[in-house]
Structure 1
Amino acid sequence: MTDFSLLAALWFSAFTSATLLPGTSEAAFAAFLWQCPEAAFAAWLAAGSGNTLGSLTSYWLGRQLPERGQSKLSPRAVSLLQRYGAWLLLLARQPVAGDALPLAAGWLRLNAWECAAALAVGKFVRYALIWQGMGWLLQAA
């Protein structure tokens, strides 16, 4: 596979991993860095953008669900949403449980631009941390 093919596969893995579909983008990112450390920045951009767009797809799907009154939500959830709003999506970088947050944000009609910004920050930071960790591993090897 060429570097572009590997980057495209990494992007796709990151995209699907951010939806409700199962995925292992962290492992794919780490494996890419192990095989092609010279292309780390490109891999970081591919993984971060793919994962962000995957979460934005979940946000969009949530917007397609019928609106419901907040009376169905717990008072604690309403309080957290009122306090943190779209910035709760920084936690969408967490595997499994975080995948539902963008869907819920869309369902609650949170501001799309704020949601996109929070998602991007959280996703790119996660991959930067993995990149840093892989840098330490590669130096030790």
Structure 2
Amino acid sequence: MLSLFLVALASATLLPGGSEVWLARQWCQGEAVGLLWAVATLGNTLGSLVNVALGRYARHLAGRRWFPVSAPALARGERTYARLGRFSLLLAWLPVVGDALTVVAGLLRLPFGQATLLILAGKGARYAVVLWLAEHWLGGYCQ
């Protein structure tokens, strides 16, 4: 289970990874479905929260000449994201795009509790689907 947690955590950060394959592998080994779901969801959510924290840290760099976003653009982005963008975190499980969404959530200072709940919901749903697919498509292939 520790390996699943670590793979899921790393997969959600800017590091590459394939937590779905690892999850299906452990499912094939007969691990408890509920525990697999919880460990993968927790690890992947924590990995995304690392990205949110990195975005929050990067915010203090705003205003420097080399920072890629101007202060007015950042303020506009913050207002728009607060209204509409927070629900994009339900898609934080998407490859590549999900990492960017979580960093932007931190950069634009989405409240940490909201970010956590939205990321958790999206990732939990994704892993539930992966486990359902494993049960219905891989069941006969596991040894």
**TM-score, with normalisation over the residues of structure 2?**
0.82
* Residues 45-103 of structure 1: CA deviation (Å, up to 9, x unaligned): 11000000000011011111124625158x8x678624423221011110121111111
Question: What is residue 122 of structure 1 aligned with on the other side?
Answer: 122
Alpha-carbon offset, residue 114 of structure 1: 0.6
1:16 match: 10
State the 1:139 CA deviation. Answer: 4.4
**Uncovered stretches (5+) of structure 1, i.e. residues with no partner:** 1-6
What SS does the corresponding residue of 2:92 show, helix, strand or coil? helix
Establish whether residue 49 from structure 1 lines up as the match of residue 42 from structure 2: yes
- Tell me, yes or no, if the aligned pair for 1:40 and 1:131 is still in contact at 8 Å: yes
Could you tell me which runs of 5 or more consecutive residues in structure 2 were left unpaired when the two chains were aligned. 63-69
Distance 1:54 1:117 in 2: 14
SS at match of 1:105: helix
- Residue equivalent to 2:67: none
**Count of residues paired in the alignment:** 132
> How far apart are the structure 2 equivalents of 1:17 and 1:94?
11
> How do 1:82-93 residues align onto structure 2 when only pairs under 5 Å count?
82-93=82-93
Higher helix share: 1
In percent, how many aligned pairs have the same letter? 38
Contact kept? 1:26, 1:130, Cα under 8 Å: yes
Structure 1 range deviating more: 78-87 or 18-27: 78-87
**Corresponding position of 1:96:** 96
Instruction: Work out which of the residue numbers 49, 57, 64 in structure 1 matches 2:57.
Output: 64
Runs of 4+ in 1 over 6 A off after TM superposition: none
CA contact (8 A) 1:44 1:124 kept: yes
Contact map agreement 1:85 1:110 (CA 8 A) in 2: no
Amino acid at match of 1:88: S
